[in-house]
Amino acid sequence: MLRTPHHASGPRAEERQGYHLLHWTTPQYAGFGQVAPTAGDIPKALALPTGGLGVRYQLTQKYPMHLRFDYSWGRDGPLFYFGAGEAF
């Protein structure tokens, strides 16, 4: 049986914003959060900042199908994402 470790997450804050032009969208976000082995360790946990921006192109008008190009960064460095579909 595979067991995964349990973690408690602390307060999180996030700000999202986006701009729309025809079939194009440019989302951006910034935020931070905390993760600790137990809820009692959250006040001592390091705050983890994150941020990102991206570009979306809506492929069809009828269905929310997008091409996604995203760049995000956090404490461990930057990442680049590409995807087709819808995140939510």
Task: Specify the 3-state DSSP secondary structure of 43.
Answer: helix
Residue 53 CB coordination number (10 Å): 16
Can you give the pTM of this predicted structure? 0.61
Q: Which residues pair with 50 in a beta bridge?
A: 31, 74
For residues 2-8, average pLDDT: 49
Q: What is the DSSP letter of 46?
A: P
Over residues 28-73, the pLDDT tens digits come to 888 888 888 888 888 888 888 999 999 988 888 787 788 999 999 9
**Residue 27 pLDDT > 80:** yes
Do the beta carbons of residue 34 and residue 9 sit within 8 Å?
yes
pLDDT at 82: 92
Q: Name the residue ranges covered by the structural domains of the chain.
A: 52-88
pLDDT at 18: 63
